[in-house]
Structure formats: C-alpha cells, structure tokens
C-alpha cells in the first residue's frame, strides 16, 4: 500500500509541475499521426511485415506550447505479412485496430526522444502464419526520435520490436508466436 501512495504522490507532483510551468493554459491537445513501417524476422520463422497506419492522438501534460510529455492514441493499420513459404513469397493482407502510448524526453533543439508501446488486434484475410489463424493479437515496443520543424508538424522515426500471435489458443504448433525487428517513420499533424 505504501508503494501505491508513493507512486500516486510522484505522479501528482509531475502533473502539477507541468501545469505550473506550462506557457499556456492548454493541458490537452489532439493530433493525427501517419506511420509506415517494415519489420523483418531474423530468426528461423523468416517473416516480413509492411505496415501503414493512421492514429488519432490525445496529447497530455504540455511543458511548452508545442511539447507534451505523454500521448495516447487509437488507430487503424493495414498490414502485408509474408512468411517463408513460397518463392516469391505471397503476402497476406490484414486490418488492425490498435492503441498506443508514448512517453517523451525533454526537448533538445527541437528534437526529443520517446519510448512507445502499442497493442493491436489484427484480422488477416487468410491464416497467418500458414499454420496459424486469421485473428491475431500483437504488440510493438521500442523507441525513437522526433523532430519538430514547425509548431504543428512533427517528423519521427522509430525502432520497434514486433510480436504477433493468437496467445496459443490452438496450441503452439497451430499458431506459433512471431517476432520481428523493424523501422518505422511518419509524420504527426
């Protein structure tokens, strides 16, 4: 119980400091983010995934008029997933709904770092991987860098770990989890 109280007090202090030192009364803001990424496996499953997405953002805790500490988003993504069957490999199309959270570092010359976590639910047009199922859950975890050339436009690039599986609903032989590393880039408006 003492740890929960301590964490709550620290979070309240951070929120209060951000509100006090904000250069405007804005605490919340809304934006849009467009991302495209490529993830490839370096293990024996030899998968590849191309993903594009659109997110609607809720920005929280501004420390300057154009910079916030957290953002939460919900969005849609399209995936083209490849596994190691066939040459050339035929893609499997998927649609996903996802939610994410970013935690930002302080600003250094219009640039800042961030940590990001994303959870998603993806429905593919056919089983993916070939011995898997059509419905899969997934997550991305990683970090990146964001550059702010203008107050309302931000460019970013990130490195993410991509994981997808159906939580072994039908057993590991039926749908093994797939892991990949990748790069993604985008623009936030």
* DSSP-derived 3-state class of residue 89: coil
**pLDDT tens by residue, 25-78:** 456 678 889 999 988 877 766 778 888 999 998 877 776 666 778 888 999 999
Percent of all residues in the chain with a pLDDT value above 90, rounded to a whole number: 24
Higher pLDDT, 113 or 172: 113
> Residue 80 has which token pair?
């083209």
Instruction: Sketch the domain layout of the chain as residue ranges.
Output: 2-188
Q: How far apart are CA 128 and CA 189, in angstroms?
A: 33
pTM of structure: 0.75
Check whether 92 has a pLDDT greater than 90.
no
**pLDDT tens by residue, 129-168:** 776 778 888 888 999 999 988 777 889 999 998 887 766 5
Q: In the CATH hierarchy, which top-level class contains the domain 2-188?
A: mainly beta
Which residues contact residue 41 at a Cβ distance below 8 angstroms, ignoring those fewer than 6 apart? 47, 48, 178, 179, 180, 181
b/e map of 153-178 (b: 16 or more CB within 10 Å)? Answer: ebebebebebbbbbeeeeeeeebebb
Mean pLDDT of the chain: 79
């Amino acid at each position: 119980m003492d740890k929960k109280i301590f964490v709550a007090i620290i979070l309240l202090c951070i929120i209060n400091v951000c509100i006090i030192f904000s250069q405007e009364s804005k605490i919340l803001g809304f934006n849009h983010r467009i991302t495209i990424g490529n993830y490839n496996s370096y293990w024996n499953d030899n998968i590849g995934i191309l993903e594009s997405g659109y997110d609607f953002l809720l920005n929280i805790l501004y420390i300057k008029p154009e910079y916030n500490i957290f953002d939460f988003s919900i969005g849609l993504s399209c995936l083209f997933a490849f596994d190691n069957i066939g040459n050339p490999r035929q893609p499997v199309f998927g649609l996903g709904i996802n939610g994410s959270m970013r935690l930002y570092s302080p600003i250094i010359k219009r640039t800042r770092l961030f940590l990001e976590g994303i959870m998603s639910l993806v429905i593919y047009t056919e089983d993916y991987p070939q011995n898997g199922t059509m419905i899969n859950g997934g997550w991305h975890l990683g970090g990146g860098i964001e550059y702010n050339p203008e107050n309302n436009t931000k460019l970013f690039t990130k490195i993410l770990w991509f994981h997808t599986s159906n939580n072994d609903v039908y057993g590991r032989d039926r749908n093994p989890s797939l892991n990949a590393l990748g790069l993604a880039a985008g623009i936030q408006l």
